[in-house]
A and B are shown apart, each in its own frame.
Chain A
Amino acid sequence: MSGLLASGGLSGVSGGDLFWWVILPYAALLTFVIGHIWRYQYDQFGWTSRSTELQERRALKWGSPLFHYGAFAAIGGHILGILIPESVTQAVGIPETFYRTFSAIAGTIAAVAVIIGVLILAGRRLLVPRVRATTSPVDWVALILLAIIIGLGIAETIGVGLLGNHYNYRVSISPWFRSLFTGSPDVRAAIKAPLLFQVHAVVAWVLIGVWPFSRLVHAWSYPYFYLWRPFIVYRRRVATRPNEPGTSGRRWRRIGTPY
């Protein structure tokens, strides 16, 4: 709160603004951190990519790599655009016009990959009964949120950045996002951003809150250590205690129960 006051007080900031730009992000971050710790402690068995390649592979062959590699590019773009201040890119000699052109073109390439990928993936999830049957309720929530975020992000990148009049989010959304982590949220910077960018950010926070409870946790399990691990893994038998009731038991479902 002292940070809030230091950045100019709360005058002119409504309760609603406070909720969307301060309370929601912090609540989402808290849920994200605690949720992941809890899930990692108590649900290793449920921590998986939940692949549906067994059920359907022809559409997945194109959809999944396009989506994932496109998403990596998009994440890289977000790091560049949101985490790194405009002053830093200018200090290292990157002019604003170059940044705009680069972000519009590279962002568009990533956006096209993501949108094709997500359309294929959404299509197979909705239209292939075998894939559809594997989707749990929390996964539906996470996937719908992801679809909204991607749709808005593409509108920002292609509609505004490439085709429209470029909007410099690096003077509004980006300073607000960084200020969240310095403990003095710059609410006014967020308020002045266009609605498109605001909704994109808000839905992203909701997704971050849902993240630890969905299949998206597999993102943290990318097994890069496989590159230097010995091929054959040996393990000695170890004595283990039975799990405490209600904590981390194997979750094999009873026969006949739905997902």
Chain B
Amino acid sequence: MRIMAQVCMVMNLDKCIGCHTCSVTCKQTWTNRPGTEYVYFNNVETKPGLGYPRRYEDQDLWKGGWKLDRRGRLTLRGGSRLRRLLTIFYNPDLPTIEDYHDPFTYDYARLITAPAGTAAPSVQAHSTLTGRAMVPRWGTNWEDDLAGAPERAGQDPNLVKLGEAVKLSFEQVFMFYLPRICEHCLNPSCVASCPSGAMYKREEDGIVLVDQNRCRGWRFCVSGCPYKKVYFNHRTGKAEKCTLCFPRIEAGLPTVCSETCVGRLRYLGLVLYDADAVLAAAATKDPQDLYEAQLSVFLDPEDPTVRAEALAAGIPHDWVEAARRSPAYALIARHRVALPLHPEYRTMPMVWYVPPLSPMADMVGGPGGGEDADAVFGAIDALRIPVEYLANLFTAGKVEPVRQALRRLALVRAFMRSRQLGLTPSADPRTVGMEAADVEDLFRLIAIARYEDRYVVPPAHAEDAGRLLAQHSLSGCSLESEGGPGMGGWGLPVATRGDDGRTHLRVLEGRR
């Protein structure tokens, strides 16, 4: 067993109102530069819809992620390593700018410099690739709120799988938003696809990053990522991707998209997992078992042996404690209401989603409805189409985990409403495999959702970084003369765990 810690995000889709604040603040923070006009580390898609870039979920087309070969071994869908080196001069699976959109801006100066006249001045769109005037014909969120859905939504790969018959009735009842960032996968196919070795997963927190100095612009990360969350900066010629705002995470702060989320729907927390078990789980034969397989990789931080192993593996004590309070682990593993996005890509994604209950609740009780758990349960089962659509998104088509998550969410509403109104709860938590305490905990996380409960991000251990930095200055400290005050030992203070369970900074340590 090799325990590693991963910063994991969960998004509660029931709360997403599609305001795009996360996209805007992310863009202002990370991608407001030339060359990244079309780049959205965070974007919000309307589902059903084609997504960004168009039809990115269709891996028969884009060849992203992993697949099992004939002997059941995990291989990149984009082909062998040799094939990648031979097609390095033309990547056959790369989306073009048309699949995203031709980025454009407006000549805003014209609004104030236009000569006086009766007509209000208008501005022409200009391509930021060429500077030429253009007419935008596609863009990110072109299909926001199902715009153009009658023509295009039918091409949504999750919908295509459902077949023609259910599609038409479904389009009239159902819509939700899907905010997406990089999944920071446990088994990242972008990292495996990068010929230069420029992409890496950080050991400490699992964040997947691109080394801008080692990237040579071969572009295989873009085609290797099934979520299309690695982008090519067309000015620098380098790949860029969501960084999970690592400077903020290292400081113990939530990401910008989380911090600014108006709906307060994002959760950040640590998940401990067994890194040695990842490959076997990703190679699970039936795609519909991948959700359970990924759950089996996660380790319960309440288990004392897991905690001891984690400490032995060098995970700091405060990180292990943070893992116990992790809202991500609670929603994913303890309550099982959060589900992974497209586990069938076999990358073991680490941004999970609480499926939206609202379409079902709206059906039975009007907006904000869903008090009557029985009615909602009925709707969940009766409206089979949305559940199957959600299953195509989150469980490779396996309906049962989605149905159970929705039933638990519906039960929390009904149970807590009854309690607040002093009524006898009509719904029994045990019918969905929960205890009353579980319902209250889920209520605390999902409904109260205080800032401190949503974001449990332990700061990075700066003393480790400092110790590394000290190794660089081998010239030594001037105080480190024989018997001098600098003779406290090598490097900076070392944090150890004392018998009282607290972290001690050992400032003075004899030279061994």
CA A49 – CA B237 in complex, angstroms? 7
User: How many angstroms from the CA of A255 to the CA of B213 in the assembled complex?
Assistant: 21
Residues facing A in B167-209 (CB within 8 A) are 187-188, 191-192, 194-197, 199-204
Q: Which residue of B lies closest to A237 (CB)?
A: B204
Chain A contacts for B196, CB-based, 8 A:
221, 223, 226
Instruction: State A250–B212 Cα separation when bound (angstroms).
Output: 9
Interface residue A181 (Cβ < 8 Å from any Cβ of B): no
Establish whether residues A50 and B85, one from each chain, have CB atoms under 8 Å apart when the complex forms: no
Q: From known contacts A65-B90, A130-B129, A229-B197, infer whether A234 and B203 are also in contact, taking CB-CB under 8 Å.
A: yes
User: Secondary structure of the B side of the interface?
Assistant: loop
Can you name the residue of chain B whose Cβ is closest to the Cβ of A130?
Answer: B129
A68 within 8 A of B: yes
Q: Is the CB of A223 within 8 A of B197?
A: yes
CB-CB nearest in chain A for B92: A61
Interchain CB contact under 8 A, A64 and B201: no
Q: Is the CB of A51 within 8 A of B217?
A: yes
B85 near A224: Cβ-Cβ < 8 Å: yes
Whether A236 touches B34, Cβ cut-off 8 Å, given contacts A47-B216, A53-B94, A253-B235, is no
State whether A253 touches B34 (Cβ < 8 A): yes
Which residue of the partner chain, among A227, A235, A237, A239, contacts B81 with CB atoms under 8 Å? A227
Complex CA–CA separation, A62 to B70 (angstroms): 31
A91 CB within 8 Å of chain B: no
B460's nearest neighbour on chain A, judged by CB, is A237
On whether the beta carbons of B465 and A239 are closer than 8 Å, the reply is: yes
Check if B82 is an interface residue, CB within 8 A of chain A. Answer: yes
Q: In the assembly, what is the distance between CA of A233 and CA of B200, in Å?
A: 5
Q: Out of B96, B132, B194, B214, which one reaches A57, CB within 8 Å?
A: B96
B97 in contact (CB, < 8 A): yes
Judged by a CB distance under 8 angstroms, whether A129 is at the interface is: yes
Does B88 make an interface contact (CB < 8 A)?
yes
The smallest beta-carbon distance between B343 and chain A, in angstroms, is 18
Q: Which residues of B contact A252 (CB under 8 A)?
A: 33, 236
A239 and B468: CB pair below 8 A?
A: yes
Do B97 and A54 touch (CB < 8 A)?
yes
Please determine whether A134 and B235 come into contact, CB atoms closer than 8 angstroms. Answer: yes
Whether A55 contacts B219 in the complex (CB less than 8 A), given A130-B97, A223-B196, A232-B187, comes out as: no
- Residue from the list B90, B187, B238, B466 in contact with A45, Cβ < 8 A: B238
Q: How many residues of B contact A (CB 8 A)?
A: 57
Which interface residue of B33, B34, B191, B201 has the most chain A CB atoms within 10 A? Answer: B34
Residues of A with C-beta under 8 A to B203: 234-237
- Asked if A195 is an interface residue, CB under 8 A from chain B, the answer is no
Q: A48: which of B34, B199, B217 is its contact (CB, 8 Å)? A: B217
B84 on the A face (CB < 8 A): yes
Q: Which residue of A lies closest to B466 (CB)?
A: A239
Report the bound CA distance from A50 to B191 in whole Å: 20
Q: Which residues of A contact B216 (CB under 8 A)?
A: 47-49, 218, 221, 223
Contact of A235 among B92, B200, B237 (CB under 8 A): B200
B261 within 8 A of A: no
Contact with B along A223-249 (1 / 0, CB 8 A): 111110101111111110100000000
Known contacts A57-B96, A226-B195, A237-B465; A255 and B237 CB within 8 A of each other? no
Nearest CB of B to A70, in Å: 11
Instruction: Judge whether A133 is part of the interface by a CB distance below 8 angstroms.
Output: yes
Which DSSP category, helix, strand, loop or mixed, fits chain A's interface? loop
Which residues from chain A contact B199 at a C-beta distance below 8 Å?
Answer: 233
B residues near A51, Cβ cutoff 8 Å = 217-219, 232, 237
Closest chain A residue, CB of each to CB of B132? A129
Distance (whole angstroms) from the CB of A101 to the closest CB of chain B = 29
Query: Does A44 reach chain B (CB closer than 8 Å)?
Result: yes
Interface residues of A in 89-128 (CB under 8 A from B): none
Give complex CA distance A51, B213 in Å.
16
In the complex, what residues of A have CB within 8 A of residue B219's CB?
51, 53-54
Residue from the list A53, A222, A223, A232 in contact with B91, Cβ < 8 A: A53
CA distance A47 to B236 in the complex (A): 9
B130 contacts the other chain (CB 8 A): yes
If the complex has contacts A233-B197, A236-B202, are A45 and B129 also in contact, measured as CB distance less than 8 A? Answer: no
Query: What's the minimum C-beta distance from B72 to chain A, rounded to whole angstroms?
Result: 17
- Shortest CB-to-CB span from A57 to chain B, Å, is 5
Residues of A within 8 A of B202 (CB): 234-237
Tell me, rounded to whole Å, the shortest Cβ–Cβ distance linking A50 to chain B.
4
Complex CA distance for A58 and B238, rounded to whole angstroms:
21
| B32 at the binding interface (Cβ < 8 Å) | yes
Q: Which of B88, B96, B217, B466 lies in contact with A50, CB distance below 8 A?
A: B217
Whether the pair A55, B96 counts as a contact (CB closer than 8 A) is yes
Residue of B81, B96, B238 near A53 (CB, 8 A) is B96
The residue in chain A whose Cβ has the minimal distance to the Cβ of B38 is: A54
Are B96 and A64 in touch, CB under 8 angstroms? no
Asked if B215 is an interface residue, CB under 8 A from chain A, the answer is yes
B82:A227 contact, CB within 8 angstroms: yes
Are B204 and A57 in contact (CB-based, < 8 A)? no
Instruction: Give every chain A residue within 8 A of B192 (Cβ-Cβ).
Output: 231-232
Contact A61 B90 (CB under 8 A): yes
**In the complex where A44-B214, A48-B217, A55-B129 touch, is A234 in contact with B201 (Cβ < 8 A)?**
yes
Establish whether residues A238 and B468, one from each chain, have CB atoms under 8 Å apart when the complex forms: yes
> Of all chain A residues, which has the CB nearest B231?
A54
Residue interface mask A188-203, B partner, CB < 8 A = 1: 0000000000000000
Per the bound structure, the CA–CA distance linking A134 and B217 in Å amounts to 14
- Complex CA gap A231/B91 in Å reads 19
Q: With A130-B129, A222-B88, A239-B469 in contact, do A48 and B238 touch (Cβ < 8 Å)?
A: yes
14 inter-chain pairs at a CB distance below 8 angstroms, sorted by A residue, are A48-B237, A49-B218, A52-B234, A53-B94, A57-B90, A67-B89, A68-B89, A232-B192, A234-B202, A237-B202, A237-B460, A237-B464, A239-B468, A252-B33
8 further A-B contacts with Cβ under 8 Å, apart from A53-B96, A236-B202, are A47-B216, A49-B216, A51-B217, A54-B96, A130-B127, A235-B202, A239-B465, A257-B34
